[in-house]
Chains A and B, each alone.
Chain A
Amino acid sequence: MASKKKRMLAVTAGALLASTVLAACGSGDDDKKSEGAGETGGTLYFNVEKPIDHWDPQRTYVGTDISKQSRLVYRELVTFGTSEDAVESAKPLPDLATDTGTASDGGKVWQFTLRDGVKWEDGSDITCEDLKYGLSRNFATDVIVGGPAFYILSYLDIPADADGTPQYKGPYTKKGQDLFDKAVTCDGKTITYNFNKPWPDFNLAIAALHFASPYRAEKDQGDKSNYSVFSSGPYKLEGTWEKESGGTFVRNPEYDKATDDTDSRNALPDKIVFKMGTKLETTYDAILANKGDAACTVSDNRLPPSKFSEIPNVQDRYQNPDSPYADYLWFNTKKLPLEVRQALAMATNREGWIAAGGGERAYTPAYSVVNPAVAGYKEVPTYKDIPLAGDPDAAKKILDEAGIKTPYKIEIRYPQSETADKQAAALKDTWDKAGFTVTLSPEGDVYYSNIQKPDHNYDVGWAGWGADWPSPMTVLPPLFDSRANIQGGSLGQDYGKYEGKAFNDKITEAQNATDLDTQITLLQEADQILADDMVYMPLEIAKFNWVTGKNVDFHTTPGSNSFPDLGLIGLRNGGC
């Protein structure tokens, strides 16, 4: 779940005055208790602040949307369960497949067999051909954009063109179709994937993302299908999805619970209504006050820090899980000398940043860009040695010893929000003391596309990332491997333009490792190389703050990426 589209801190400009009146006279109405398990039935309201980008499984790459789709409408060969335990929840469960897949040839060949009786919402069977067609859509890189296609593009055993892209160009042009048909084969209900290098945790990738989701060929209209939902799960879309206002999901009668022995889809509410366009503060003012539909409302935008003081009043419907993301600062390695980067890192006030963003309820300090929940996580000593509040004096010394003239001008870029402004000002505070002259340059919605421009001349900026599946392989290479990132008109996720030969070599070594333990050790060494080159400075691990209406039996699990878990959430007290 790349956090490419993650809204920084999920706090935008403040609530309207009118809405705050609600909260002020709120939380009366205590005749119903906010305890008890969810029951079957009722209508659940799900508020999202800004339009959802995609419902197309192959194009979805945002953590919360992946989880919504898995729980409601799209079944996968394997999926993640609802265990609260981090280790248990990172194990794939057989879903459409009879087991979790069989690897052979050192992880280069994977086989899955479809189970009987699994159906689409129109009653037809889900076939091996559907799986194959879904996978083929990833190769139409001009139509199916936005998704995590690059994994399958680099792994599937298809010869590459001169420009390094696979010779197969997707199901719309059918160019190189025979190559694809050779790499992915169907034998009755059994599908076989052939890779060009070992992919020891391929089944984790299927469970975590939707690039391998089955897709019915005749339902595919390319880009026009972006918001269509052809369901294999317990719900189906009623009518159409409206980009600006949302849509309603109702029960899918063709879904047979008997074919689903995961614990991922309790499917308690009869109806799930997605609403959007309401400001975050307004949504939460209503939820805190429990008025009307708000008592049955869930949101996947975090409670803003300005409302944290309400938490003691709603303790019984409040959850504070660690998120799978880590936030970090990237440095422009082509512009700033190493000593300047080191001095910036040394003077980085993580504590001030965290406090300005809501304190320990909102973040814990980070010592690597890898989230602690990822298998093989290791604190990087370099970042552990930098005091949490930063050390401007030590930073000044680094600059002086390197003979760098101060004041040194630095511009920091980040997506604008009231909270982010304060956080960036906290960095400025200590950086200025260390001999920098810092300017804040907040940006709007196009933040990520700007810092991906190859000719950008920015000094330092914020970014956030979460592992796509619980492996550091989905963190360091997608962020810092120049070969995978910097190409054509984009820097990919390598915003700091880092090109490190030693690092890239380590990654190659890790990619070719056949067992996961060796791979993890190599990646830990790669992370240390990044710290020595001071390519990034980890800031914090975001924590989520969820408050829901009192009639919602709320759950969040690692399997739902710590977002609301629609597989478990139900309504109590008879709903709304």
Chain B
Amino acid sequence: MTLPATDLDTHVGPPVGESEPEAGTAIVGRSPMQLAMRRFRKDKLSMFAFSVVVLYFLAAVLAPFLVKFGVLDPYTFHNTGAGSLLDEFTLPKGSWGGISGDHWLGVEPGTGRDVLARVWYGVTFSLVMAIAATIISVGLGTVFGIIAGVSGGFVDSAIGRLIDLVLSFPSTLMLLALSSLFIDILVHDIHVPEGDVANGTYVVLVLGFFGWPYVARLVRGQVLSIREREFVEAAKLMGASRFRLYFKEILPNLWAPLLVSATITMPTYISAEAALNYLGVGIKPPTPTLGNVLSGSIDYSTSDFVFFFMPAFLIMIIVVSFNLLGDGLRDALDPKGHR
């Protein structure tokens, strides 16, 4: 039975008979979201981290256009003839890794390619991969978590064992060993374009697949408390379908923990991309990613420190920013959980 529309009015607005609040100190009704936003905005550190993250995203979106129009040039060599920017050891001429007006972060040893262009363009590829992997792992984790939490019983324990299985899998080793096999399958059976796309897709799939159990556990815990709440009981009593129960009743109450967990997951994938690239899996040069620029620079940690430092520094900044942002969001969304 539908509640008469007029009855709703009795729920909102100041109760009849109470005195109007004094002017200037108006009490405004605020949704939990608005409250969270207020708390978040007051947190200076989180706001700073947030702006850094926004800056990275802007840079990532801009980079392909800048490369297209030739403002950034991550591919041209400056290692031969009169225009060579390298000395006899094929290290950059000049101090500080060859930093100059034309090359703000210096040039790469051996090739003379512009470091700024390579790391900037690298941010684009790294972020795209990290976001895609995050979407996969959070998506899978949410679905499995809700199903396990709501269903309980056999389904719950089956998913629980599956989670244990995936977590106990020697994932890094397997993904190194199986990379060429799976990339072959991607290319020949699923017709993913060979090269960067296939290599990148593999990393995204693997990170996503091995990342979902953490999210699923978190979601399951939340669901266990939500499913006992009245509105879920009500929906059940009214004969709501499972699908409606899962995704219309419970999911909307999960966005806060999901947002936090996505924010915390992202940076781990950015560093994971770098680590995997060092081990030989991922997008290969000359296409830059933060990972392959970093792994190419590791040999030069003593001889050309600036070159080594730049990609490492950029990775560090974005990882720290994401983590601070995640912390800030958690504090704002869940004020009871103060540190």
Q: Which residues of A contact B (CB under 8 A)?
A: 11, 13-15, 17, 20, 23-24, 281, 304-311, 349, 351-352, 355-361, 389, 416, 418-419, 421-422, 425-426, 428-429, 439-442, 444
Contacts and interface: CB of A to CB of B under 8 A. Distances in A.
A352 B194 CA distance: 26
B79 interface: yes
A418 B81 contact: no
Nearest to B294: A14
A281 B278 CA distance: 15
B280 A13 contact: yes
Given A416-B280, A425-B75, A308 B80 contact: no
A21 B148 CA distance: 49
A439 B283 CA distance: 13
A17 B84 contact: no
A15 to B, nearest CB: 6
Contacts of B280: 13, 416, 444
B302 A352 contact: no
A30 to B, nearest CB: 19
A355 B286 contact: no
Contacts of A416: 280, 284
A308 B90 contact: yes
Contacts of A442: 284
A429 B303 contact: no
Contact of B299 (A281, A357, A359): A281
Majority SS of interface residues in chain A? helix
28 contacts: A13-B295, A14-B295, A14-B296, A23-B302, A305-B90, A306-B303, A307-B303, A308-B90, A351-B81, A352-B77, A355-B84, A355-B86, A355-B112, A356-B90, A361-B88, A361-B89, A389-B81, A419-B110, A422-B110, A422-B111, A425-B75, A425-B285, A425-B286, A439-B194, A439-B195, A440-B284, A440-B286, A442-B284
A308 B303 CA distance: 9
Max count, chain A CB within 10 A of own CB: residue among B79, B84, B108: B79
A389 B81 CA distance: 8
Given A306-B109, A356-B110, A418 B296 contact: yes
B298 A422 contact: no
B300 interface: yes
B172 interface: no
B219 interface: no
B329 interface: no
A17 B305 CA distance: 12
A307 B80 CA distance: 20
B286 A311 contact: no
B89 A428 contact: no
Nearest to B112: A355
Contact of A352 (B79, B89, B278, B284): B79
A352 B86 CA distance: 12
Interface string B180-202: 10000000000000110000000
Contacts, number: 111
If over half of B's interface residues share one DSSP class (helix, strand or loop), that class is named, otherwise mixed; here it is: loop
Contacts of A358: 90, 110
B76 interface: yes
A151 B282 CA distance: 43
A441 B187 CA distance: 14
A421 to B, nearest CB: 4
B80 A351 contact: yes
Given A356-B110, A440-B286, A308 B89 contact: yes
Contact of A425 (B91, B111, B180): B111
B301 interface: yes
Contacts of A305: 90, 110
A309 B300 CA distance: 10
B79 A426 contact: yes
B285 A440 contact: yes
A557 to B, nearest CB: 26
B282 to A, nearest CB: 12
A357 B110 contact: yes
Given A15-B298, A416-B284, 8 more contacts: A13-B280, A305-B90, A305-B110, A310-B302, A352-B79, A355-B90, A355-B110, A419-B110
Interface in B267-319: 278-280, 284-286, 295-304
A306 B285 contact: no
A389 B108 CA distance: 19
A207 B327 CA distance: 71
A311 B89 contact: yes
A421 B299 CA distance: 14
Contacts of B300: 306
A422 B299 contact: no
A359 B111 contact: no
B80 A355 contact: yes
Contacts of B284: 416, 421, 440, 442
Contacts of A17: 298, 301
A422 B285 contact: yes
- Nearest first, the 3 A-B pairs at minimum CB distance are A14-B298, A306-B299, A355-B79
A24 B296 CA distance: 19
A309 B89 contact: yes
Contacts of B296: 14, 418, 421-422
Contacts of A421: 284-286, 296
Nearest to B305: A24
B298 A359 contact: no
A359 B279 CA distance: 26
